[in-house]
Amino acid sequence: MTPSEEVAATIGFDDFLKVDIRVGTIVEAEPYPEARKPAIKLVIDFGGAIGRKKSSAQITKHYQPEDLPGRQVLAVVNFPPRQIGKFMSEVLTLGVPDADGEVVLIGPGHTIPEGGRLF
């Protein structure tokens, strides 16, 4: 079984509530060739109190930077920032692997106001 096939340990609902997953709209995207693995630098607008946050995402197989602005995505907004090379990633943009293990972004099926929390 690969790590993505393994079922995680059971957690309580209170543990789930600790992970703050919000919808945001990508407002900027540019290549990040300096990253160890091919990536795209994103600026995502979560509106309200969260505002705009940066993220480095390894999504180059399915996405081009110029096609991403305006797309809504889900991201974890309450992890500590993480240094990715010379870039500080402030949120974890969420995706799932396709059949080849390449990242496919997760987003709502309808337009949602920025900052909407997953529940």
Decide if 44 is inside a domain: yes
If you average pLDDT over every residue of the chain, what do you get? 94
Q: Check: pTM over 0.95? Answer yes or no.
A: no
d(CA 11, CA 21): 17
Expressed as residue numbers, the domain containing 38 is 13-105
Domain count, the chain: 1
Q: What are phi and psi of 66, to 5 degrees?
A: -70, -15
Decide if 45 is inside a domain: yes
3-state secondary structure of 53: strand
Decide if 48 is inside a domain: yes
d(CA 83, CA 10): 30
Nearest to 26 by CA among 61, 75, 62: 75
d(CA 75, CA 107): 9
**Between 3 and 42, whose confidence is greater?**
42
Decide if 70 is inside a domain: yes
Decide if 55 is inside a domain: yes
Looking at residue 79, what is its pLDDT?
95
The mean pLDDT value for 46-72 works out to 97
Looking at residue 3, what is its pLDDT?
59
Decide if 65 is inside a domain: yes
Looking at residue 4, what is its pLDDT?
65
Looking at residue 13, what is its pLDDT?
94
CATH at residue 36: 2.40.50.140
Decide if 4 is inside a domain: no
pLDDT digits (tens, 9 = 90+) for 81-116: 999 888 999 999 999 999 999 999 999 999 999 999
Looking at residue 5, what is its pLDDT?
76
